Structure formats: structure tokens, C-alpha cells
Structure 1
Amino acid sequence: MPYLLRPATLADAPAVTDLLNQIDVLEIGRPETDLHTVEADLKNPETDLEQDSWLAFDGDRLVVYGLLWDDSAGERIDVDHYVLPAHQEAGKLVLEAMEARALRKARENGAERAVVHLHLNVRPTLDTALLDKRGWSVVRRYHVLRRAVDAAADRAPRPPAGVRLRPCATEADRVRVHELYQAAFAEHFDFQPRAYRQWLHDMDAEGLDWSLVWIVTADDLGDAGFLLARNDREAMGWIRSIGVLREARGRGLAGLLLRHAFAAFAARGRDTVGLGVDTSNTTGAPQLYARSGMTVHFAVDTWEAVLR
């Protein structure tokens, strides 16, 4: 029986979530995808679902999901691709469609080529021989880390003299976190500058508990860093981003923010906290997380294809 391909709609979010959790079990041993995360992806303002999403069905069963979005307004295009192992042919059909759309999108942006990135578990359900044959290659590796937390052991740290933490309580604070984010991550791999409203969508701000976002301030520097966390993942508390300005690094501010987040999650009854880190990060973040007791949960590779 041939596969049925069609675009996704927001109403498909539960079925997509179920598919992604089936793949989670195969790749990392347990389901860790939440419905609200899938819904946020499908609502991405840089995604036209009619042209930028794909579902493949074997009969009534969803077996492949693909999504494309464009943060760069240039040649850089991002895609997601999920396939059940027994349906690689359907996965190939969706991959081919995504590549063709990525190149059209980049050309609409005025670029001569598309540089496409796809994040996959290091042991994915997708047969990576297909990617190899089509000219894709791994350009980066990320680790998803996790750490157990406990309310008795993880107490809120006392900031050193001249350093203060404040929660992100006002619109002005949110704007300041955005400014700090853009500055702290400007030199990071694959960073795409984002205007404030675009960034709010990236953070899924509508579902964000802003009391889990903090700004760190030093007397001699002013606002110097931030931590953005969220408590809406079923699997664990999640640190979405932590950043410190270049001129403030090496003073223990990131570690202070991290310990504060551990304590906040423990106080809310969480037993595990996770985050993602670029293994080639040069700011010292991987070493900080290791010293803080975080260990590798699983690894993700960034695959890249240059399409002309």
C-alpha cells in the first residue's frame, strides 16, 4: 500500500505527540515529548503548515512527521524529521520533500543555496545511510544533561557581596532578558539574531512561568546574565537557556544561577532537572555542568546539507 502524505494541522498535534513519544522510547528509553511543545512548533510564525509540514500515514497510522522553519530569512533553514524504523521509504519521501522546500525557501529569501540543519539522536530511528547518500554530514554534537535534585540538599545559594539575583517580574525585565540573550549567545554556533517578538515565540512565552526566569546583576557591571527555565515538561524541570556576558564570565555567575535554579525546582517538588549543551562550547559551560553534578542523558547530532 502506498503511503499517504499530507500537511499537518494544529489538530494533528496529539497524533504527532504520540509518534514522537514512540520514537523517544526507541531512542532514549522513555517518552519525553509533551503536547504543548508540539503545539508550539506547529504555531511557529516562520512556518506555513501547508507548505512546511509533512505527515506520512501507513493506512491510518502516522509513521513520519516533518517540519520546516526559517529563522534566518537567508540561506539557513531548519527541519525536524521523525520516522518509525520500519517505514524508511516514507521517511525518504518526506526528506526529499523537505529538501526541495528548503531550497525554494532559501531562494525566496534571495540566497543561492540552502544550508539545512537537522537535529537527530546519535542513535536515531532514521537510517542515517540515507543522509550520507544525500550529502548530509554531522557538524556538531549536543548533550542533554540531567541531575537529581532534592529540597533538603539543594538550597538557594547566597549571592556574594556585590551580586544580586532578581526574578523576571515585569515587561522591562523580559526585554532585558532578550537583550542579554542576544548578546551572550551572539558568538555561539548557529546563533540566529531574533527580534523581541520573534524571541518570545521561540521561548513559547505564552506558556512560560516567568518566575522561573532570573537576571543576575553585579555592582560593577549591571545586569550581567540570565537563566530561563520552565516547569511544564512532564519528564523533568528544564533549563532552557543560561547566559553570561563575555565581560562577566569567570566570576561564578553562571554557577550561582544554576544552583539557584536547582533549588527552585527542588522546592517545587521536582526530582530531576535537565538542560542541553553544545559539546564544543568554548565558554566553559560543559565543565561547569559536570562540576555541578550533571550527567549525560543522551546525545544529539546536528546534520547539515548544503543544497544548490
Structure 2
Amino acid sequence: MICTDLREYTKRAMTLADVLTVTDLFNAASMMDIGLMDTDPEEMKTHFQTPGMDLGTDTLMIETPEGRLAAFAEVWDVREPRVRAWCWGVVHPDFRGLGLGRALVNWIEERGRWGLRRVPEGLQVSYVTNMPEINRAANQLYADCGWKWVRQSRVMQIVLNEAPLLPELPTGIEIRAVKPGEEAPVFRALQESFLDHWGVVDEPFEAYYNRMMGFVEHTKDFDYGLWLAAYEGEEVCGSALNLIYTTEDPDMGWVDVFGVRRPWRKRGLGLALLRQTFGEFYRRGKRKVGLGVDASSLTGATRLYERAGMKILRAYNVYEKEIRAGKDLTTRSIEA
């Protein structure tokens, strides 16, 4: 029997002891929405230990009178200056239609207003979320709450029925695996390349480096041999940080972070990095490779992935809510 009186439900912040329960909620919702598992406890524990995240202020659990987790929200507000945060609200399928989704959105917006104290006056603060395109109720909820649809993100995949084509490297470029101790210049190159991505805010490199190294150190089965970087002499031109494991499909490798710096774009390096990545996965027995991409990528990433043979698996709608008006520090466009 489902309790329909939300006044009987309790709210609290999560702790790391709740990781398994929160993971189960995310996976139940994902199975309902897209028919796939979304995550696993180790991945979620790494996520919730991101430097700068405070579970006490950045998460909300809503539990039934019996103590069952019915809904969860988080604000991933870890980048300085804190003018832009990603957020998610998830309702367990058993408890949808009761108004819990709107309660999550209300909390997210309240959390946004609370966070203004940490942002200098005069700067715009906005929150962003995404959800499966096919979850019509969730999309309608955010639209009804005044969130603006801004774009789509997509998951793309290639099926490797045979050994992939060898990369054709631009003259003077070599691709090799990143070794422990070589991370800093590669992360500098990735951070620079991502400044041309929609919605990105420049942040101090030390903060970016610490967050990304935490990801590397805590990711299950992280394989440095799959983290590729392209070099021209000693200069890092681009990189593909790849993961051997994805929860949704054990036969699929994942391109987690991919970027090429401006001076080396439009020279075939991106395609070469992808083909090298496909080859490394193929040698490890992976017959599928996936990644996520902004469907309206300012750098043309979607077209690159299509040229490499990748196809769209599914789409997510991205919504944005302005918490405070002001000067926008995010990337919205780039020079041709």
C-alpha cells in the first residue's frame, strides 16, 4: 500500500552510508525510462566524493513513513566560481504521480537561492538538468516549473564487427597512452579544449585537476593504457580518457572525456584519436564503444562521431533555470 499523503514523508540529506539505496533508486528509474541500468554503487560513491561536494547541503532524500526511499535530488555545485550547477531529481517508479517530482524541483530551486551567498554579486547563476526524451512527464514538469529547454544531449555508439580502421595521423603527431605522473599536462589540454563547449565555466586549474585526479584514482578498474593523448613534440594536442566498464552494457567501452585543442582541430586528429580508441577497446575484447555528446556541439563533435561510424542510441533533453540574472560567465558560442 503506497502512502499518498506527502505530509507523512520525511526529508533528509544523504550520507555515504546511503549510496547503495540511492543507486537502487537511480537504477529503478532508469529501467523504467530507458530499459537499462544507470550506475553502480562504486561509480556513485566516486561521484558523491567529488571534491567540493557537500552531501549535507547538496542532496535531498524523501522517504516514506516506512523508511523507503521514494525520491532523491542532488545539486552538483563543485566548480568555482559557483555560477552554474548540474542537478538531478529522480522519483522511484512506484511513487510517481504523487507530486514528489515537483517537491524535488522546488528543493533544487531553493538550494539555488541558498547558494547565491557564495557567488559574487553581478554574476548570473543558472542551474541545468537533463532527462530522457521519452520521459514525457518529467519533461513537462520542468517546463511547467519555468525551466527552459536549451538543447539535447545524445548517447552514441559504434558496433565493432571487425577490427576498426587504423588511425591516419596528421604529420608530426603521435598518440600514446598516458602514464602515471603525466596527468597534469593532459588535463590542462582537456580543460582548454572544453572551454569551447556550451555551458562551460573557466575555473582554476588546480581545482579542475584535483577533481579529475579524484575521478581517476577512485574509478573502478581504471586502465591508464586506455587513456590516450596526442602529442606534437612535447605539446599535448588532445586526449581521450576512456573507461573499460559501463553499467548499462558490459560489452561496451566508454569514451568518458574527449577533446582536441583549437590549434589542432580540422586536421584529422579527432578522427585519429577515435580510431585509436576503438582499436584499444577492440584489442581488449570490447565490441561496442559509446559516448555522450552535445547534439548542438559548438565544435562539431556530433559530426565527427558520425564520420567515425557512431550512431545515436538515445536522447536527453537539457533544461536550464536562471536563479539570478547577471553577467554570464558560461560559454554560449565560439568564434568560427
TM-score, normalised via structure 2 length? 0.83
3-state SS of paired residue (1:27):
helix
CA contact (8 A) 1:177 1:215 kept: yes
3-state SS of paired residue (1:80):
strand
* Residues 165 and 50 of structure 1: CA distance in aligned 2, closer, same or farther (over 3 Å): same
Query: Tell me, which stretches of 5 or more residues in structure 2 are unaligned?
Result: 325-336
- Give distance in 2, aligned partners of 1:247 and 1:174: 21
Partner AA of 1:78 in structure 2: W
- Give distance in 1, aligned partners of 2:146 and 2:19: 31
* Residues 3 and 224 of structure 1: CA distance in aligned 2, closer, same or farther (over 3 Å): same
Question: Which position in structure 1 is the counterpart of 2:223?
Answer: 209
Question: Which position in structure 2 is the counterpart of 1:122?
Answer: 133
The partner residue of 1:50 within 51, 56, 60 is 56
- Give distance in 2, aligned partners of 1:225 and 1:74: 27
CA contact (8 A) 1:77 1:106 kept: no
Q: After alignment, is 67-76 or 256-265 more displaced?
A: 67-76
The partner residue of 1:184 within 193, 203, 211 is 193
CA contact (8 A) 1:120 1:300 kept: yes
Number of matched pairs: 305
- Give distance in 1, aligned partners of 2:238 and 2:139: 38
- Give distance in 2, aligned partners of 1:248 and 1:213: 19
- Give distance in 2, aligned partners of 1:81 and 1:202: 24
Partner AA of 2:30 in structure 1: D
3-state SS of paired residue (1:269):
coil
Question: Which position in structure 1 is the counterpart of 2:327?
Answer: none
Partner AA of 2:42 in structure 1: H
Partner AA of 2:86 in structure 1: D
Task: Give the drift of 1:115.
Answer: 1.0
Question: Which position in structure 1 is the counterpart of 2:113?
Answer: 103
> Structure 1 runs of 4+ off > 4 angstroms?
none
Show the 5 A alignment for 1:74-93. Answer: 74-85=82-93, 86-88=95-97, 89-93=99-103
Show the 5 A alignment for 1:102-251. Answer: 102-111=112-121, 114-124=125-135, 127-150=138-161, 152-154=162-164, 156-157=166-167, 159=169, 161-171=171-181, 173-194=182-203, 195-202=205-212, 204-206=215-217, 207=219, 208-218=222-232, 222-234=235-247, 235=249, 236-251=252-267
3-state SS of paired residue (2:96):
helix
Query: Tell me, which stretches of 5 or more residues in structure 1 are unaligned?
Result: none
Question: Which position in structure 2 is the counterpart of 1:61?
Answer: 68
Task: Give the drift of 1:216.
Answer: 0.9
TM-score, normalised via structure 1 length? 0.90
